[in-house]
Amino acid sequence: MMSTKAFTLVSAVERELLMGDKERVNIECVECCSKNLYVGTSDGFIYHFLLEEKALPAGTATFTATKQLHKHLGFKKPVSELRAASALNRLLVLCDNSITLVNMLSLEPVPSGARIKGAVALALNENPVSGDPFCVEVCIISVKRRTIQVFMVYEDRVQIVREVSTPEQPLAVAVDGHFLCLALTTQYIILNYNTGASQDLFPYCSEEKHPIVKRIGRQEFLLAGPGGLGMFATVAGISQRAPVHWSENVIGAAICFPYVIALDQEFITVHSMLDQQQKQTLPFKEGHILQDFEGRVIVATSKGVYILVPLPLEKQIQDLLASRRVEEALVLAKGARRNIPKEKFQVMYRRILQQAGFIQFAQLQFLEAKELFRSGQLDVRELISLYPFLLPTCSSFTRSHPPLHEYADLNQLTQGDQEKMAKCKRFLMSYLNEVRSTEVANGYKEDIDTALLKLYAEADHDSLLDLLVTENSCLLTDSAAWLEKHKKYFALGLLYHYNNQDTAAVQLWVDIVNGDIQDSTRSDLYEYIVDFLTYSSDQALVWKYADWVLQKSEEIGVQVFTKRPSDEQENSFNPDDILHCLQNYPKALVKYLEHLVIDKRLQKEEYHTHLAVLYLDAVLQHKPSASDKGAEVTETQAKFRRLLQKSDLYRVRFLMEKVQGAGLPMESAILHGKLEEHGKALHILVHELRDFSGAQDYCLWRSEGRDPPYRQQLFHTLLTMYLSPGPSTPELTVAAVDLLNQHAREFDAAQVLQLLPGTWSVQLLCPFLAGAVRDSIHTRRTTQVALGLAKSENLIYKYDKMKLKGSSVRLSDKKLCQMCQNPFREPVFVRYPNGGLVHTHCAASRHTNPSAPSPGTRT
């Protein structure tokens, strides 16, 4: 078992000061009360010393005792016990079975002569029940067999308050409140002297060993148990701490938190109450007294008095940490919580946790280290600073002083072991990644993120990119240098971008694509750049690299113009500038014009014509020889046709000129159609191309949105063409029949019938004729209904007219024009159906002046 240095043993009273050279005189008992040290001797003397403590820098202290007085009490017997009652300024002296009260300073017995007789041993109640500050409670083992007596001791009198008998002869006693803890002949018991109730603790053998009963705190005692055990027991008879393991023949025990100190013939042993481990052993021969007085532990041989000076807890903890005993250090620190002011404790404890964390870290116990760092609220930079070059050069961090660990850096810690180093780095990576978004990072986000970036870059870790594309605080100069060093150019570009240096970013990436620098992070870097430029709002940047991207690939490169986010359109690029730029990139130009014309529907003649011309050129290029005519319509040709049909903006005649003679009949037909030259168009379709369904579609296309007569006209034209005299072929006849049957409604049947050759069978045109006849009948019927309705309406008007004519109108001076309210001067007037009379000119003006009051309408 490793040991701790918890105490140092220093001499307090040299034997010369005591009995000089009197060989046969021994120290019998000791008492210490603040600075007063009393020693009782075997020849009946009491010595009084003043103890002066002098602290030493190492955390220990030396003591010098100055003798004040010595006095003989007049007994021939040894002084067997001394107890100070400082509140009363009295010293209780047990000598010759009698307890005498003497003045603490003069050592004179009280004048009243008060004393307790018949005492074998005594114990002071440190948890008194009376509450009287001028009285101490003393408990004695009486000379009477199996009897304990309780006394109240005042300044100059004593008073017995209780006498209890015990089942066996008591050998040792301690007291707390009403509870006596007694060592009887065969067992330890707790006895409540107030109620008489007793509780067995455990048996022991008084013949074999000297019992120890020691009050260690409120309601708790320490007892010497079987097998050299130091047993803890509460007044309830329960053990709340595990026992400590002493040697078999312990003479005395004392407490100095958190330690239990025991004395035997050879050694002083120190055990921790926190983990029951033995912590220290001090050789000490012939000791026979070990007692603690208000935290001061005194040990004595028969000739000299010594003090066990505890090392400051912090020193002990540091010693433990120095020997890597983390668990023990933490237990000791935690145990000290109640002995140290809260604020001070927290600072200390936090530091210890951090130190412990570094110890675990150095042993690569990362899980434990992390937990300790976390609970110790470690400044992350302490950890980062262990790794060479990770902290930014501008970081203001300096390690805490005194240092939390002994390592200069990771190299020293791992002694150059690369595997260990890698493990440490992996740990730091995960740790920083965990804390960077927590409050631990507050204030040093730059340091953390920069360190993390460096680690990722060095380890070629995927998270490097994630770090850079999300919110981060990586410091530019430091990170840039590092990324460059590790050839992480793509990441460097991201860093530049994050720091609003897009130009630098793109230039880097371009260099990578061009092969000027090497970084294989992304195989699709070119596409990435295009995408980046597409979404960049920096026009200058886009212009700067437009040529480059287009040179690489026209189709993809043009996306920087065509795929721009739609919400950017305000103050966006001028299409003409772009067109100018694309002059040398025909494919890109087409794509862009398509974007303008088709996607953005820009209604500008130039674009439409330009696109049409480009299509035309492409089409012509594709079929230099008109050999496989009409075999397959290329994609471009389809696009060209679609544009010609859909767009109304291009210059038709201009294109017509170009198309003519180029062997593009379909395109010509469409252009003719655009010029309303349906005859020509249909002629091409029917006679040149023999595309009858195309001809039908043409009719439908051109009559779209027009009135029915126009449409009829168109279909008739087509029909006429089919039926026109000439080298008529069965094909055309069939086409004509199909046209009639499929589009019966588009024709005027009467006209058609005149056109049709008489040889055709009715059967052939059945669908057309049935439709036409049905249509005709329908028309007749609706017309008849309309006629009937009109007739009846006419009748109603006639009736009205007759009614009006039936009465006369008398015109007199009194009659006034309803419009102008003037009398009529002429016999001419206008009469409204409601009977109102007006001047003719008023009636006429009524129609021109809408504001005039309306006298009524005829209908």
Q: Which stretch binds other proteins (CB under 8 A): 221-229, 411-419, 497-505, 840-848?
A: 221-229
Number of CB atoms found within 10 A of residue 343's CB: 8
Query: Any contact of residue 835 with other proteins (CB under 8 A)?
Result: no
- What's the closest the beta carbon of residue 244 comes to other proteins, in angstroms? 8
Among 239, 503, 712, 720, binds other proteins (CB under 8 A): 239
Gap between the Cα atoms of 606 and 649, Å rounded = 8
By CB under 8 A, residue 265 contacts other proteins = no
Stretch in the footprint of other proteins (CB under 8 A) among 124-132, 218-226, 444-452, 603-611: 218-226
Of 283, 372, 280, 296, the C-alpha closest to 330 is 372
> Site for other proteins (CB under 8 A): which residue of 40, 211, 225, 771?
225
Contact (CB, 8 A) for 4 and 309: no
Which is nearer to other proteins, 293 or 345 (by Cβ)? 345
CA atoms within 13 A on the CB side of 454: 24
Asked if residues 291 and 306 have their Cβ atoms less than 8 Å apart, the reply is no
| 200 lines the binding site for other proteins (CB under 8 A) | yes
Q: 177 or 694: whose CB is closer to other proteins? A: 177
Determine, following the binding rule CB under 8 A, whether residue 231 of this chain makes contact with other proteins.
yes
Q: Closest by alpha carbon to 176, among 131, 237, 217, 232?
A: 217
Which residue, 182 or 474, has its beta carbon nearer to other proteins? 182
Closer Cβ to other proteins, 12 or 183, answer by number: 183
Q: DSSP for 625-681, please give it.
A: S-TTTTS---HHHHHHHHHHHH-S-S-HHHHHHHHTTTT-HHHHHHHHHHTT-HHHH
Q: Residues 50, 69, 160, 238: which binds other proteins (CB under 8 A)?
A: 238
Closest separation in Å from C-beta 173 to other proteins: 18
Residue 432 C-alpha from the chain's centroid: 13
CB of residue 127 vs other proteins: minimum separation in angstroms? 13
List 20, 57, 111, 227, residue binding other proteins (CB under 8 A): 227
Tell me: does residue 734 bind other proteins (CB under 8 A): no
The reply on whether position 261 binds other proteins by CB under 8 A is no
Residue 243: name the closest of 227, 254, 256, 232 by CA.
232
Asked if residue 327 binds other proteins (CB under 8 A), the reply is: no
- Taking CB under 8 A as the criterion, the residue among 49, 204, 482, 545 binding other proteins is 204
The closest alpha carbon to 357, from 400, 394, 395, belongs to 400
Q: Does 202 bind other proteins (CB under 8 A)?
A: yes
Is residue 217 close enough to count as binding other proteins by CB under 8 A?
no
Return the residue of 242, 347, 675, 844 that touches other proteins, per CB under 8 A: 242
The torsion angles phi and psi of 82, rounded to 5 degrees, stand at -130, 135
Check binding of 236 to other proteins (CB under 8 A). yes
Residues 6+ apart with CB under 8 A from 364: 420, 423, 424
- Member of 34, 112, 165, 240 binding other proteins (CB under 8 A): 240
Q: Can you tell me the distance from the alpha carbon of 507 to that of 504, in angstroms, rounded to the nearest whole number?
A: 5
Report the alpha-carbon distance of residue 61 to residue 721 in Å, rounded.
130
Q: Which of 97, 103, 219, 572 binds other proteins (CB under 8 A)?
A: 219
Residues 159-198, mask of contacts with other proteins (x by CB under 8 A):
-------------------x--------x--x-x-xx-xx
The DSSP bridge pattern shows strands 830-831 and 305-310 to be: unpaired
Q: Does 118 bind other proteins (CB under 8 A)?
A: no
Which residue spans within 817-857 are E strands per DSSP?
A: 830-831, 837-838
Contact track, other proteins, 334-353, x by CB under 8 A? --------------------
Q: Which of residues 268-297 bind other proteins (CB under 8 A)?
A: 276
Question: Please, are residues 453 and 482 in contact by the beta-carbon 8 Å criterion?
Answer: yes
Q: Are strands 213-217 and 198-203 parallel, antiparallel or unpaired?
A: unpaired
DSSP 8-state secondary structure symbol assigned to residue 242: P
**Which residues within the stretch 598-657 sit at the binding site for other proteins (CB under 8 A)?**
none
Query: Using CB under 8 A, which of 105, 117, 159, 226 touches other proteins?
Result: 226
Comparing CB distances to other proteins, the nearer of 220 and 447 is: 220
203 lies in the site for other proteins, by CB under 8 A: yes
235 near other proteins, rule: CB under 8 A: yes
Closest distance to other proteins from the beta carbon of 83 (Å): 27
Containing 842, the helix (H) or strand (E) segment is helix 840-848
Element (H, E) at 701: helix 692-702
Size of the site for other proteins (CB under 8 A): 33
Identify whether the C-beta of residue 575 lies closer than 8 Å to the C-beta of residue 596: yes
**How many CB atoms are located within 10 Å of the residue 164 CB?**
20
Is 211 a residue that touches other proteins (CB under 8 A)? no
What gap in Å lies between CA 765 and CA 786, rounded to an integer?
A: 31
Cβ closest to other proteins, residue 337 vs residue 798: 337
What is the closest distance, in whole angstroms, from the C-beta atom of residue 195 to other proteins in the complex? 4
Q: Where does this chain touch other proteins (CB under 8 A) — which range of 233-241, 416-424, 604-612, 838-846?
A: 233-241
Neighbours of 624 (CB within 10 A): 7
> Under the criterion CB under 8 A, does residue 243 sit at the interface with other proteins?
yes
Binding site for other proteins (CB under 8 A): 178, 187, 190, 192, 194-195, 197-204, 219, 225-227, 229, 231, 233-243, 245, 276
